[in-house]
Structure 1
Amino acid sequence: MIQTFKHFLAGLALATATALTAPAPAFAQVASTELFKPVVVINGKAVTNFEHQQRIMMMKLFRSPGDLEEEALKALIDDRLRFLAADEMGLALTDEQIVEGETEFAGRANLSREQFIQALEGAGVARESYRDFVAAGLLWRQVVATRFAPLAQAQVTETDIQHAIAATSRRGGGVKVDFAEIILPANTPAAAAQAERIAAELGGTNMSDAAFSSAARRYSASPSRARGGRVPEPVPLGNLPGQIAQAFLTLPPGGVTEPFPIPNAIAIFQLRRMIDSADPGEETVALEYARFLIPGGRTEDTLAQAAKIRTRVDSCNDLYGIAKGLPANRLTRETKAAGDVPGDIAIELAKLDPGESSTALTSGNALVFLMLCGRTTATLADDSAAGTSGVAPRQSDGRADTDDEDQARASEAAAAASAEEDPAPTAVEGVPEVRRAAVRQQLINQIVASYAESYLAELKANAIITYP
């Protein structure tokens, strides 16, 4: 099932962890006789005090910022508009679809549906409130798919796809990406909830370089935070993990990607500029890398140890001397297909040449000394419709070669709409079909998400909203 509500994943995990230990709250702040009186009416459909208090409770569990009474009311108004839009189009959910949605949602906290509902109820969130929250998103997906997916698919032409693909190779020339990053830690339920909230606010937007840098200095856990998130050197587009590379293809300068979940963190990136290069366009197909663990986490002492190691090693082979006599798990060396490398490691390796190292990551209570041993690439001679596909892979080993909720739901609905409605792509000579399909889907998703956001804003502007 296509994932939904990704920006609330960590909040749900936090709700579960909190609910398992917290006593059920009372509704002392609203007298029982007042619970089911309306606080707002949208096109004749009321939102009650009870629903408002329930959403406030959920937002407290999610550690949402701002005035929770006001933000909860806004969210409920939007959900009412989603329900009304679906009703106007004759769309409805079966009990089975809702149960499936609740189950999928609960599974993200590694719980069964019943376990998750029990945990929420333990924190005072009623089963019906969870059901309505899930149903609003599922129906919005149907609305968006029905109204906008066919239109978006018709708008994405072969020329659009080829233009996007050509950006990776420029007909034989490579492209480098100048970008900044924010790595939001999500290694505890509380940190994950905070990361999801920040990612939902920043992801998918356009920001000035200064604003993104300020956010990086405030929130990022990466060493690049000291530079405002700026990656020191432009990175060849083909070095980057596929999803991130494809996201950069469709961003304008200043554009911020949607959030990318990585182990124990969430990453977002800002495109500063694309740089044409005379080097051949190459795409990474496999990576060989080593991880040497330095116990003690990220401290001045462990970073000093890493700096000493860096002066003693020129290649991954040299790390065996460093690890001699230590437990075997202190040093690991792996070769993996590019798509199989964990996201946090892949992002760091993209910035490295063979023989270079990074200390941006931690693993448990250890600093990771990460070294790129080698990169296997395929040269992209021409990715246009008339061109040819890549040549044989080439190995570089460093010795022989040193070379907010509405946005979230709109984006998820866009992904679901394209996945459910998108016909099989037409073959184009010289362009790998998997790559073409990924680019096409990215373009469709962006169009659909934009339509969905505008449509919700239009519904709100045209609604009759009264406060009894």
Structure 2
Amino acid sequence: MNVKTKLTDCLRPLLLGALFLGSAAHAEVQSINRVVAIVDNDVIMQSQLDSRLREVQQTIAKRGAALPPEHVLSQQVLERLIIENIQLQIGDRSGIRITDEELNQAIGTIAQRNNMSVEQFRAALAQDGLSYDDARDQVRREMVISRVRQRRVAERIQVTDQEVQNFLASDLGKMQLSEEFRLANILIPVPESSSPETIQAADRQAKELYQQLQQGADFAQLAIARSASETALEGGEMGWRKAAQMPPPFDGMISALSVGEVTEPMRTPGGFIILKLLEKRGGGSQVRDEVHVRHILIKPSEIRSEAETQRLAERLYERILAGEDFAELAKSFSEDPGSALNGGDLNWIDPNALVPEFRAVMAHTASGDLSKPFKSPYGWHVLQVMGRRATDSSEEFRKQQALNVLRNRKYDEELQAWLRQIRDEAYVETKL
């Protein structure tokens, strides 16, 4: 298993590299590790560009795609680094800080997604040529960018009740519980207030790319070399979307595509976009498996070691087996603030909303039974399964789906506009 690839799947890498060495004793290094871009109050170094370029080249090679010329790829990678650097500076000015506890939890989640313990993950990183400290920095920076976007983009998106009702009553809303599509895109940008000549040039470029695709050109390679989308270096990969999550006119076009087909270039506020359908899934009735479960959570702390925490969980388990009331013990001992006052009751819950360790133990515990103490990233648990059911999507669930779809649609559009805005407002001087 290549851990770099797995890490990329979980959190996009932000390999910002080493700082420029200022000592005269390193004159030879200075001549190589030169500044390739000035971005507001920071710089991007050749070493950072080289590091990210190698990472992208490895990722593209693993997908089996042909590499574009290095000078083309370098420009794309540098532009990605510039956009990331701007966002990191915004995060720094906004006082966004990632605590060690939050970072450790994120690292633990990545390890779990790779079916590893943190120790195994560290060893695999070392074997793959990536230090654990570099990985932590990588994840920390991605978390900063995520929080910057949450503050600057997500928080200003509003969806009204009327929009939700209109969506549910629409044909697209009714399609929401049907198919999902894995998509890739190529974006030819058109800046705001562009001249007619600039728009026509972008239109010609998009049509030229479309003709190349019709003649068998590799979509991912063209996206890497020519697209201005945020996902360009991933071959344009956008992940799974429902038709309703796409802005018009794509929402009505996707369902008619066969896997492997591409749309003709379409004009959007951001420019001309070409989409490719990579996969389809879903359809039919939407039935969810839900479990009624309650638990007691005991967390290690500065005054209680891991071993002591485990022993306390085991004692509570024995007391419940001996006949003591689960709910009363949960109220007295559980350190889950969301459920302790309710006797540890999590009510009916979708297993997919739970961490893998909890979900796995719950799946192997029969209704009415008590689990043995087990560990998750949050601490030590004892759980009891109260019941299981399969349920059709409720009206409330449908409303929540509609709200999520509308928010995602607005977020995608708002994010691209915001990224263009901060790029236009930043002072950037490239020196490639």
> Under TM normalisation by the shorter chain, which class is it?
0.3 to 0.5
Answer 1 or 2: higher relative contact order, Cα 8 Å, separation at least 6. Answer: 1
Q: Give TM-score scaled by structure 1 length.
A: 0.41
Q: Give TM-score scaled by structure 2 length.
A: 0.44
